[in-house]
A and B are shown apart, each in its own frame.
Chain A
Amino acid sequence: AQSVTQLDSQVPVFEEAPVELRCNYSSSVSVYLFWYVQYPNQGLQLLLKYLSGSTLVESINGFEAEFNKSQTSFHLRKPSVHISDTAEYFCAVSEWFGVNTGNQFYFGTGTSLTVIP
């Protein structure tokens, strides 16, 4: 089974400053990688995903993540954060076990991003 590590449980950052949220996973076996965002008392929303192809993936709201196979990492970055980015961010990995078993998903413990005015 995979394990997903988000090294920072809390990240405070000033508005308009850059931020990086770190994510490492345990195995470089063929996996798919995701970042989800969660606002208080809501479900998780898919922020971006790496499935194949270019190792740099971008979201519509300025976040990007880079897949690094040799370091088994998928760090999330944003060059300039806004107050509205304050939320919990989860890194997730899925492995495919065939049509009968389907995908198994593994989540990190989350990083709480707080943007300070």
Chain B
Amino acid sequence: DGGITQSPKYLFRKEGQNVTLSCEQNLNHDAMYWYRQDPGQGLRLIYYSQIVNDFQKGDIAEGYSVSREKKESFPLTVTSAQKNPTAFYLCASSLRTYSNSPLHFGNGTRLTVT
């Protein structure tokens, strides 16, 4: 079955450490997105990528970095510069060339930094 796989489901890190969240999709989608979810704030866009080797900052990119070396993969690194990294992170994808393509989501990674 096609889908988006995020790993790990739960991640614990000490303050000051960088951490990378994995996102892999086998839907053959061009576009991939990273969202952060905090209670009562909905989804906020961190980064998105429409094609391989290209990505754009979203609304809250500070303290995060991404790469898009393969169509299937869009890892997110939460750096030590991110002031409040504890959150639920969601990866999503869609078809770039279809205007009515919805977002498909992975099951998320819950990151806790202490």
Nearest first, the 9 closest Cβ-Cβ pairs linking A and B are A96-B99, A43-B105, A109-B42, A51-B100, A102-B96, A44-B105, A107-B43, A43-B107, A102-B50
Q: Could you list 18 examples of A-B contacts with CB < 8 Å? A: A34-B102, A42-B108, A43-B6, A43-B105, A43-B108, A44-B43, A44-B105, A52-B100, A90-B43, A92-B103, A94-B102, A96-B100, A102-B31, A102-B96, A103-B94, A103-B101, A109-B40, A109-B42
Q: Are B94 and A102 in contact (CB under 8 A)?
A: yes
Quick check: is B104 within 8 A (CB to CB) of the other chain? yes
> How far does the alpha carbon of A96 sit from the alpha carbon of B31 in the complex, in Å?
13
Q: Which residue of A lies closest to B33 (CB)?
A: A105
**Bound Cα distance from A102 to B9, whole angstroms:** 29
A109, B50: Cβ atoms under 8 Å?
no
Q: How many residues of A contact B (CB 8 A)?
A: 27
Interface range on chain B: under 10, 10 to 19, 20 to 34, or 35 or more? 20 to 34
Residues of A within 8 A of B (CB): 9, 32, 34, 36, 41-46, 49, 51-52, 90, 92, 94, 96, 99-103, 105, 107-110
Q: In the complex, are the beta carbons of B110 and A41 less than 8 A apart?
A: yes
Cβ–Cβ < 8 Å partners of A32 in chain B: 99-100, 102
**What's the Cα separation between A73 and B94 when bound, in Å?**
24
Q: Which residues of B contact A (CB under 8 A)?
A: 4, 6, 9, 30-31, 33, 40-43, 45, 50, 88, 90, 92, 94, 96-97, 99-108, 110
**Cβ-closest chain A residue relative to B90:** A43
A9 to B41, CA, bound (A): 10
Contacting residues, chain A, for B33 (C-beta < 8 A): 105
